[in-house]
Amino acid sequence: MANVAIVGGGIAGVSAAAALRSGGFTGEITLVDAGEFPYDRPPLSKDFLSGRKSLSDIALQPDDWYDRNKVRLLSGRTATALRPGTGQVELSDGTAVTADRVVLATGGHALRPPIPGADGARVHLLRTARDADALRARLTPGARALVVGAGLIGAEVASTARDLGCEVVMVDPVSPPLAAAVGADLARWLHEQHAIRGIRTEATTVRSLRESGPIVHAEFGDGTGEHAFDAVLLGVGMAPDTALARAAGLDVDRGILVDDAQVTSNPAVLAVGDSARVRRGGEVLARTEHWEAAQRDGGRAAAAILGTAPPADGASWFWTDRHGVHVEVVGYLGVAESVVVRGEFGPEPFSVFGLVGDRVVAAAAVGDSGAVRAARRLIDRGIAVDRERLTDPSVDLKKLVRG
């Protein structure tokens, strides 16, 4: 294999480059990214938004990593067209990269819902470091911040805004949010933490936003009229960036469709991370939109290019941090037949486990990474568990993994 072009320098693209090199790939690797340099996205709603970390603190790799690994990094420019027939990737600066294989790692963009006034200057989205800079500038002490959407990113921004001294109102018609991901009881407990930390949560929608000077007037759907804010964050989800793939004639269905090896409908093009979506048999699976899933995709794409065995896969995992609480989730609690609690909702650590029969299928833990690590092994190995031992905090979960 002579050379590979990777479009997108998020965790998926950078992981693909790293896995190619660690797998012994000796050809050229070109990594094209629109941003300043490849940086990590999860801190954008946490320590980067709060100002505790700078952009260089969240770089995915040290500056010299690219030279040491012979990865030609072309940042600050975008791929504007992909011509799979010739292997050409055209760039915004008028140049082109020619590659035998192209990996699309274009991620996605934050959604702007069709609310009148949602495009105002004080109405923010959060996907890039520049977005976070613009939002931070508004989150001054005493500022009134409206967070629309109480999912993962909305909740984290609300927490950070509160830490920065803002008055925060968070609006979401679904209450509690995240029930499918973390189970109804933990979702309720997590949502309650907002009120405890002085954030007002409203189970309603936002009908319209209207800017007048430095104030944004938000009309809520609950009939309470207009409410005044200094800044608004729209945290209502993301959409995968598929335009390049679509224009190149690849199969796309709210994500660039790939097989289990990350190969698209064109065998010379692979897709990874938030922009990709697996099609297995006739079925199109849900996208995961989490950091580790994107990282794993990069490893699988590299294996496909190298012709080696794909890295071991397993239950999906993600984390979220808000109000000083670290939450980790493995598997999908939405498929559990029953949910049991280990410990008590309150001071951490505690966790919930989702079961189908006597097998663990998912778990969510507050302040207990060890419980999630153990749950992951229980899930991946399909080990049957005794519920009493599982829910007894005095029983070391590693013992259950050993059987």
Ligand X SMILES: Cc1cc2nc3c(=O)[nH]c(=O)nc-3n(C[C@H](O)[C@H](O)[C@H](O)COP(=O)(O)OP(=O)(O)OC[C@H]3O[C@@H](n4cnc5c(N)ncnc54)[C@H](O)[C@@H]3O)c2cc1C
Least distance CB 15 / ligand X (angstroms)? 8
Query: In terms of CB distance, is 80 or 208 closer to ligand X?
Result: 80
> At its nearest, how many Å lie between ligand X and the CB of residue 391?
26
C-alpha angle 52-144-322 in degrees, rounded to nearest 5: 45
How many residues does this entry show for the chain? 403
Distance between first and last Cα of the chain: 45
Query: At closest approach, how far in Å is the CB of 252 from ligand X?
Result: 14
CB environment 241-258: b (16+ within 10 A), e (fewer) = bbebbeebebbbeebbbb
Q: Smallest distance, Å, CB 392 to ligand X?
A: 29
Could you tell me the smallest distance in angstroms from the CB atom of residue 386 to ligand X? 31
> Which lies closer to ligand X via its Cβ, residue 233 or residue 390?
233
Shortest Å distance, C-beta 77 to ligand X: 7
Question: Which of 95, 68, 263, 235 lies closest to 168 in space, CA to CA?
Answer: 235
Alpha helices (H) in 23-119, listed in sequence order: 47-50, 65-68
> Least CB distance from residue 320 to ligand X, whole Å?
5
Q: With respect to ligand X, which residue has the nearer C-beta, 61 or 106? A: 106
CB-based burial, 59-97: b 16+ in 10 Å, e otherwise: bbbeeebbeeeebebbeeebbeebebeebbbbbeeeebb
Cα–Cα distance measured from residue 385 to residue 403, given in angstroms and rounded to the nearest whole number = 8
> Which spans of this chain sit near ligand X (rule: CB under 6 A)?
7-13, 32-35, 41-42, 44-45, 78-79, 105-108, 126-127, 153, 241, 244, 273-275, 289-291, 294, 318-320
The full DSSP string for 45-59 is GTHHHHTSS-TGGGB
Closest CB to ligand X among 45 and 351? 45
Q: Which is nearer to ligand X, 176 or 273 (CB)?
A: 273
Q: 12 vs 315, which CB is nearer to ligand X?
A: 12
Within 10 Å of residue 143's Cβ, how many Cβ atoms?
A: 16
Nearer of residues 39 and 220 to ligand X, judged by Cβ? 39
